[in-house]
């Protein structure tokens, strides 16, 4: 071994290769040095102090922020480092809720694991835990501050990886908390429900919101017909909870388990993914022909959809109008299955099993609720299903595989690869190329859209026409790409975005794992699934073909639109919080309200506001006009928006505003004159 690149860790020579810090090197030495705040995908934070090691000549240093230097002699288990770790864990436990057995994260909690590993049996410090109420406002996540160790993983993933920043540290010292702005509830702020915060949270401070109890209730209700749909990414991950390797496919066991638990029917979301391919591709071809709303953005990921609605209202029309496979399934189930199974809509309960927390939010969106009931009643994460299987006492690994029910249980590989980042794009390509060329293609794989990078671009030549594609995962990457599109630096025809790095297989509903290689293994598992299936192209799915023939009519047709498409609109980042600046409350005054939401602000609402004030002052209208500002009219793509009296003016100019003010203050003026 080349001595100039070697570090000695616990008497073992370890070669420095790409490692940025001692911690990575220690891990390479197969030593599980504990840490809460180090994640290779995030910036180095250095707060938990658990990874302190002894370097000869340097003393105790945090391994996470110490660059490895050749010749270093590192000891990870000295009396000092051991004592320090114990004290740290004791300190954290003294300020931690003590209800381990009833915690969602019990057995997967790193604090709990560490306390056991370090053999901590007593806590010598005074319990300082304050009983802070839970924040259960979000449909996707539960925040329990009593379990927060302030490692900041959630804060950093939300801002660094997702570029959302819905939560941050607030206050200082012992009062420090991680919280949405102004201590509001999570559902009142810009959280997109991706749940990545919960994925990296080492404890039970952030967890997916469980709907297990509601699902059991429905299962036990004799009047309800409970049907399940299982998303592609679930089948390569749930096994991890039962001691299987990541990436091992357990579709048959999942179906068997669901049936055993009491589901009346078990279907595959991949079936509606196949439908999505046909609808979305057709929509795409149409847009290309008309050259409008290009690039087309995929809309399968509800976190991404909310992201666009909040931050990029000008691109809302670029989102595919297709519902996500989950919602397509819900619509079909409540519309068609109710008929074929002869159940009333209100008696059918659709439960989807998803790798995702945002899907819980999506299922509750107004767009997907009809006649007072949602198309999808409950969304269970992979973790929740795992827990139900545990509760039911099923030996998951030993279950004999069973098959999905038909017709919605039959899928092609195209529908399965939706679970990977790039999967939707690849599935669409498998259809679009054949449709445009009219030729059958033997090789169905498009490796150019596969890969691990968060932004992948590819150029594709179909019948002499070039298509530019981008596949993005991680919302921070999406933001980078959108900014490039806005500035004209980049141009694409089709853009696939998944909020979670790596796509749905890396969703926050998946089993908890600290191994960074898990995502690759799941990805591989999904592609293997594709290979093992008989069919690989959505257009080959016989049950899809039959569905169009019998019920939906043509692809993109009227009935298909009714059931499978929707529309999105922009939304406020902050639910509450307007501001009124009006000076006069004259009941007889004309109210002028200027929008100061992000988009309007960027479109010049501040200058407009000034100009209006100028006009009012110049013309002595102070007594007649009340000016206020608000945060959002939700017309962001057409800003600046202002409301004058009852008129809402979009794309307002000062001229338009003055005209409206003059027109509407007319009556007041007369009144004033009259009084005079």
Enumerate the β-bridge partners of residue 584: none
Q: How far is the CB of 52 from another protein (least distance, A)?
A: 6
Nearer to another protein, 254 or 625 (CB): 625
17 classed as catalytic: no
Nearer to another protein, 557 or 604 (CB): 604
The single residue of 359, 411, 519, 635 carrying the catalytic annotation is 359
Q: How far is the CB of 51 from another protein (least distance, A)?
A: 11
For the record, the structure tokens of 275 come out as 């439908």
320 classed as catalytic: yes
Q: How far is the CB of 499 from another protein (least distance, A)?
A: 16
Q: How far is the CB of 583 from another protein (least distance, A)?
A: 4
* The pairing of beta strand 141-143 with beta strand 73-75: unpaired
554 classed as catalytic: no
504 classed as catalytic: yes
Nearer to another protein, 92 or 505 (CB): 92
From residue 70, alpha-carbon distances to 14, 27, 249, 627 in Å are 10, 17, 43, 67
Q: How far is the CB of 400 from another protein (least distance, A)?
A: 49
* Residue 39: CB atoms within 10 Å: 21
Enumerate the β-bridge partners of residue 525: none
Q: Which residues contact 258 (CB under 8 A, 6 or more apart)?
A: 228, 230, 266, 353, 385
Q: What interhelical angle do 110-117 and 79-94 show, nearest 10?
A: 130
The single residue of 270, 281, 320, 599 carrying the catalytic annotation is 320
For the record, the structure tokens of 40 come out as 């290779």
Nearer to another protein, 87 or 394 (CB): 87
* Residue 645: CB atoms within 10 Å: 16
The single residue of 367, 390, 546, 671 carrying the catalytic annotation is 367
DSSP 494: E
Place of tokens 């911690």: 23
The C-alpha atoms of residue 158 and residue 197 are separated, in whole angstroms, by: 7
DSSP 160: I
Per DSSP, the three-state class of 630 is strand
Q: How far is the CB of 586 from another protein (least distance, A)?
A: 12
In DSSP notation, 593-638 reads: EEE-SHHHHHTTHHHHHHHHHHHHHHTT-TTTEEEEEES--S-GGG
Give the sheet arrangement for strand 52-55, strand by strand: 12-15, 6-9, 73-75, 52-55, 59-62
Q: Which residues contact 416 (CB under 8 A, 6 or more apart)?
A: 232, 270, 273, 423, 526, 529, 530, 533
283 classed as catalytic: yes
Q: How far is the CB of 46 from another protein (least distance, A)?
A: 3
The single residue of 103, 109, 154, 300 carrying the catalytic annotation is 300
The single residue of 280, 434, 496, 591 carrying the catalytic annotation is 280
Nearer to another protein, 451 or 578 (CB): 578
**What is the Cβ-side half-sphere exposure of residue 17, based on CA atoms within 13 angstroms?**
7
* CA 109 to the chain's CA centroid: 22
Number of H helices, E strands in the chain: 22, 23
The C-alpha atoms of residue 650 and residue 653 are separated, in whole angstroms, by: 9
The single residue of 190, 211, 240, 283 carrying the catalytic annotation is 283
Q: How far is the CB of 169 from another protein (least distance, A)?
A: 5
Nearer to another protein, 186 or 348 (CB): 186
Nearer to another protein, 304 or 631 (CB): 631
The C-alpha atoms of residue 141 and residue 430 are separated, in whole angstroms, by: 36
The C-alpha atoms of residue 399 and residue 334 are separated, in whole angstroms, by: 30
- C-alpha closest to that of 345 among 315, 377, 316, 319: 377
The single residue of 211, 279, 362, 591 carrying the catalytic annotation is 362
Nearer to another protein, 310 or 539 (CB): 310
418 with 232: CB under 8 angstroms? yes
For the record, the structure tokens of 626 come out as 């009340």
Q: How far is the CB of 176 from another protein (least distance, A)?
A: 3
483 classed as catalytic: no
37 classed as catalytic: no
The single residue of 201, 504, 600, 636 carrying the catalytic annotation is 504
Nearer to another protein, 537 or 572 (CB): 572
240 classed as catalytic: no
Q: Which residues are annotated as catalytic?
A: 280, 283, 300, 320, 359, 362, 367, 504
């Amino acid at each position: 071994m080349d001595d100039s690149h070697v570090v000695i860790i616990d008497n073992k020579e370890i070669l420095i290769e790409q490692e940025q810090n001692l911690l990575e090197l220690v891990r390479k030495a197969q030593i599980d040095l504990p840490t809460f705040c180090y994640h290779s995908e995030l910036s180095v934070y250095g707060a938990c102090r658990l990874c302190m090691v002894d370097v000869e000549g340097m003393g105790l240093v945090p391994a996470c922020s110490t660059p490895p230097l050749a010749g270093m002699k590192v000891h990870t288990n000295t009396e000092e480092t051991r004592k320090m770790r114990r004290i740290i864990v004791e300190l954290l436990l003294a300020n931690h809720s003590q209800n381990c057995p009833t915690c969602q994260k019990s057995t997967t909690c790193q604090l709990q694991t560490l306390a056991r590993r370090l053999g901590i049996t007593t806590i010598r410090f005074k319990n300082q835990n304050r009983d802070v109420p839970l924040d259960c406002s979000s449909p996707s996540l539960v925040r329990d501050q009593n379990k927060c160790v302030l490692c900041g993983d959630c804060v950093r993933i939300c801002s660094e990886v997702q570029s959302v920043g819905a939560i941050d540290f607030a206050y200082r010292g012992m009062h420090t908390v991680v919280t949405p702005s102004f201590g509001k509830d999570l559902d009142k702020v810009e959280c997109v429900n991706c749940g990545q915060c919960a994925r990296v949270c080492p404890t039970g401070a952030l967890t997916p919101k469980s709907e297990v109890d509601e699902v059991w209730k429905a299962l036990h209700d004799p009047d309800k017909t409970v049907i399940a749909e299982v998303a592609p990414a679930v089948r390569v991950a749930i096994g991890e909870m039962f001691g299987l390797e990541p990436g091992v496919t357990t579709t048959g066991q999942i179906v068997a388990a669901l049936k055993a638990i009491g589901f009346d029917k078990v279907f595959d979301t991949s079936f509606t993914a196949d439908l999505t391919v046909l609808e979305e591709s057709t929509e795409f071809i149409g847009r290309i022909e008309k050259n409008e709303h290009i690039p087309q953005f995929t809309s399968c990921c509800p976190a991404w959809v909310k992201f666009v609605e909040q931050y990029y209202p000008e691109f809302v029309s670029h989102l595919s109008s297709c519902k996500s496979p989950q919602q397509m399934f819900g619509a079909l189930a409540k519309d068609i299955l109710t008929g074929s199974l002869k159940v009333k809509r209100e008696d059918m309960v659709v439960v989807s099993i998803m790798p995702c927390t945002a899907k819980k939010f999506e299922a509750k969106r107004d767009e997907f609720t009809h006649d007072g009931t949602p198309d999808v009643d409950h969304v269970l994460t992979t973790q929740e299903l795992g827990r139900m299987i545990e509760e039911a006492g099923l030996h998951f690994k030993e279950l004999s595989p069973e098959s999905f029910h038909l017709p919605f249980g039959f899928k092609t590989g195209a529908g399965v690869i939706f679970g990977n980042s790039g999967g939707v794009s690849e599935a669409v390509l498998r259809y679009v190329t054949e449709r445009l060329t009219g030729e059958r293609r033997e090789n169905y794989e498009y490796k150019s859209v596969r890969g691990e990078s968060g932004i992948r671009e590819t150029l594709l030549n179909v019948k002499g026409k070039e298509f530019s594609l981008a596949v993005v995962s991680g919302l921070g990457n999406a933001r980078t790409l959108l900014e490039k599109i806005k500035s004209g630096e980049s141009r694409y025809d089709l853009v696939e975005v998944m909020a979670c790095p790596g796509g749905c297989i890396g969703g926050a509903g998946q089993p908890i794992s600290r191994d960074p290689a898990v995502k690759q293994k799941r990805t591989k598992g999904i592609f293997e699934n594709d290979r093992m299936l008989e069919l690989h192209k959505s257009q080959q799915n016989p049950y899809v073909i039959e569905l169009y023939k019998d019920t939906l009519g043509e692809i993109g047709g009227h009935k298909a639109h009714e059931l499978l498409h929707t529309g999105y609109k922009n939304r406020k980042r902050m639910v509450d919080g307007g501001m009124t600046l009006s000076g006069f409350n004259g009941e007889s005054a004309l109210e002028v309200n200027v929008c100061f939401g992000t988009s309007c602000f960027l479109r010049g609402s501040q200058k407009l506001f000034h100009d209006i004030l100028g006009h009012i002052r110049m013309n002595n209208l102070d007594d007649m006009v009340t000016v206020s500002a608000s945060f959002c009219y939700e017309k962001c793509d057409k800003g600046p928006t202002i409301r004058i009296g009852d008129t809402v003016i979009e794309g307002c100019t000062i001229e338009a505003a003055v005209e409206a003010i003059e027109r509407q203050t007319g009556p007041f003026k007369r009144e004033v004159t009259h009084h005079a």
